[in-house]
Chains A and B, each alone.
Chain A
Amino acid sequence: MLNILLKKLIKTSAGRIRFVMAVMGLSVALLLIFSAVQIEADYYDLLRSKNNQDSIANFLVVNKAVTNKTVGATTLSDAEITDLKKQQFTDAVGLLTSCHFKVSAESLSERIPFYSDIFFESVPDEFIDVKTDAWKWDANSDYIPMIVPNMFLDMYNFGFATSQDLPQLTQELVKNLPVQINIKTPLGRVNYYGKVVGFSDRISSVLVPQPFMEWANAKFGTIQNAKSSRIVIRTKDPGNPALTAYLKKNGLTTDADKTRFSKYRRVVDFVVNLSWITGAVMLLFALLIFTLFIQLTIASCKDEIMLLVTLGAAPKQLQQFLMKQFFPSNIIISVIVLVLIALLQFLLQQFLYRQGMYVSPLISLFTIGTAAIILLVLWVVNKWSIKNYVYETT
């Protein structure tokens, strides 16, 4: 009953146009801010989610760029490696150990004859994406497992074999091909028996097990204390612009394809920043208009409010009443915008799914959290201006 009478006395129609403007401003502002948060959440979703974990994306082989200045001096110093380890984008660093002896490989098969000088590198097992039981080395046996890049086979099949009229090879065939490994030592050649046990996209090198490499370098090595010139790092986000910037600053290079996300990331960052800054500015203006609207409403009912207080209405009662008049519109706007964002998110999920990318079909908790925080801010501003203007009037 009291509210019905108060509604007759305190009319909120005085600033109808201002109110509509404030509502529109607030809607757009919230839309921009929530989208910014949601896009950011989606990006991290794409990056972190197990479903998207692309084996090549998370490991980068890094080395110094070979330029006229660095020719012959591409080894990485301990200081450089320690510094790289300290960067926040680095999860782990593995050194690629090169071999300090000369190696050649030749085919034992008469059907597919070949001979080539080759090289070995090794890296701790945790950085290798090929998981097989054959990846084992024993000092007592003369068997050496190898992992070669997919690219090697592709180059052979589509470049070399076609131009030389040689048969193309499947991965399975190569795995079954026995290879004789010759290691040159000061005392002459030592023969081993090798086999390709897997193909990898991660490290473009011929990999052998780390224990074999250490053993062989100690036994046959002709160069002592050689330093690594290539390392592999594990990172959560190869698209992190900080990583690309760091590499560039230190004259390091990596597979450009793997950091291609960096460009997308910068675009996403730009859009997100633009969106939320615009949103924040608009929110500020919307708040201002809301405050003015409240002020106007109270000012236009000044006489009524004063008489109400004279008759015994408590300022608190009036504030509660006014709060009920103004604040629900804010809640309604927030909910509508959230629903809209949820709808857009669902459509985005459908779209990305068709592109083979997976994001959640549901709105992010961060977006909902942001909505809650903004509502709290709106509540405080509403409450504050009502209190201020009611006290000013009475």
Chain B
Amino acid sequence: MQIELQKIIPVPLKDKFAQRGSDVWNKELRFLEREWIKLKAPSGTGKTTLVHIIYKLRSDYEGNVLWDNNNLRSIASNELAKMRQQYISIVFQDLRLFPNLTAKENIELNRVLQKPIYESRAIEVMAARLNISHILQQRAALCSYGEQQRIAIIRALVQPFEWLIMDEPFSHLDEENIKRASGLIAEECDKRNAGFVITDLEDDTHFHYTKQLNL
């Protein structure tokens, strides 16, 4: 699946972005299959806005976003659900876990929302790799931010996808854990021949990016 951005610019930030040069805003852009894309930008330049626009959480923007030539604006809710179950997975900056479900249940939910591709056991294997086995039975609300971040990453990895969207997924992880997480993510993307879009504040070498863009 390709993602195409046609001169998108968020309406509330229009004036602010018009004066500044950007690789993304108001540009024609195409994310090809299996591309690993890094979006670098300082705080407040619209990383999360872009992620939400691509994932169709907001539509207050000019221009068009196409998923495989389907304009996001005209996609129906049940079709959108199918895309989110099969083609696009996401790690939100604010994580968005269900606070009253356990870590395991949070991940399990996204595994069984569609026809599962992994056995339930795969969750434990991934959790072990990211050092969070011990909190799997704990309510998500009681986990630290760094733990929640890893739960959210595993949750995104247990479903099928062709694109993985990650919004500052390592902000609360130490170098060691970032290494483990990026290793797991790269492995899962390779398995699926999937591409990803990751946003961050700084340059990094966590992945072999095929494209680096400044927002």
Question: Which residues on A are within 8 Å of B, measured CB to CB?
Answer: 1-2, 5, 8-9, 304, 307, 309-317, 391, 394
Contact = CB atoms under 8 A, between A and B. Distances in A.
Interface in B40-98: 57, 77-78, 81-85, 96, 98
12 contacts: A1-B108, A5-B105, A9-B100, A309-B77, A312-B81, A312-B83, A314-B77, A314-B82, A314-B85, A315-B77, A315-B78, A391-B77
Contacts of A2: 109, 112-113
Interface of B: 57, 77-78, 81-85, 96, 98, 100-101, 105, 108-110, 112-114, 159
Query: Which residue, of B57, B77, B78, has the highest number of chain A Cβ atoms within 10 A?
Result: B77
B98 A304 contact: yes
Contacts of A8: 100-101, 105
A192 B82 CA distance: 100
A312 B96 contact: no
Most chain B CB inside 10 Å of its own CB: which residue of A9, A312, A316, A317? A312
Contacts of B109: 2, 5, 311
B96 A307 contact: yes
Contacts of B105: 5, 8
Contact of A312 (B57, B84, B108): B84
Nearest to A318: B81
Contacts of B110: 311-312
Given A311-B110, A311-B113, A313-B113, A9 B98 contact: yes
A315 B82 CA distance: 11
Given A9-B101, A309-B81, 15 more contacts: A1-B112, A8-B101, A9-B100, A310-B57, A311-B84, A312-B83, A312-B84, A312-B85, A312-B110, A312-B159, A313-B113, A314-B77, A314-B85, A315-B81, A316-B78
Given A2-B112, A5-B105, A8-B105, A314 B81 contact: yes
A285 to B, nearest CB: 32
Among B77, B83, B101, B109, the one with the most A-chain Cβ atoms within 10 Å of its Cβ is: B109
A52 B151 CA distance: 77
B6 to A, nearest CB: 24
Contacts of B82: 314
A391 B159 CA distance: 25
A388 to B, nearest CB: 14
A313 B101 contact: no
10 closest A-B pairs by beta carbon, nearest first, are A312-B84, A314-B81, A312-B85, A2-B112, A1-B112, A5-B109, A314-B78, A315-B77, A316-B78, A312-B81
A317 B96 contact: no
B101 A5 contact: yes
A394 B77 contact: yes
Contacts of A315: 77-78, 81
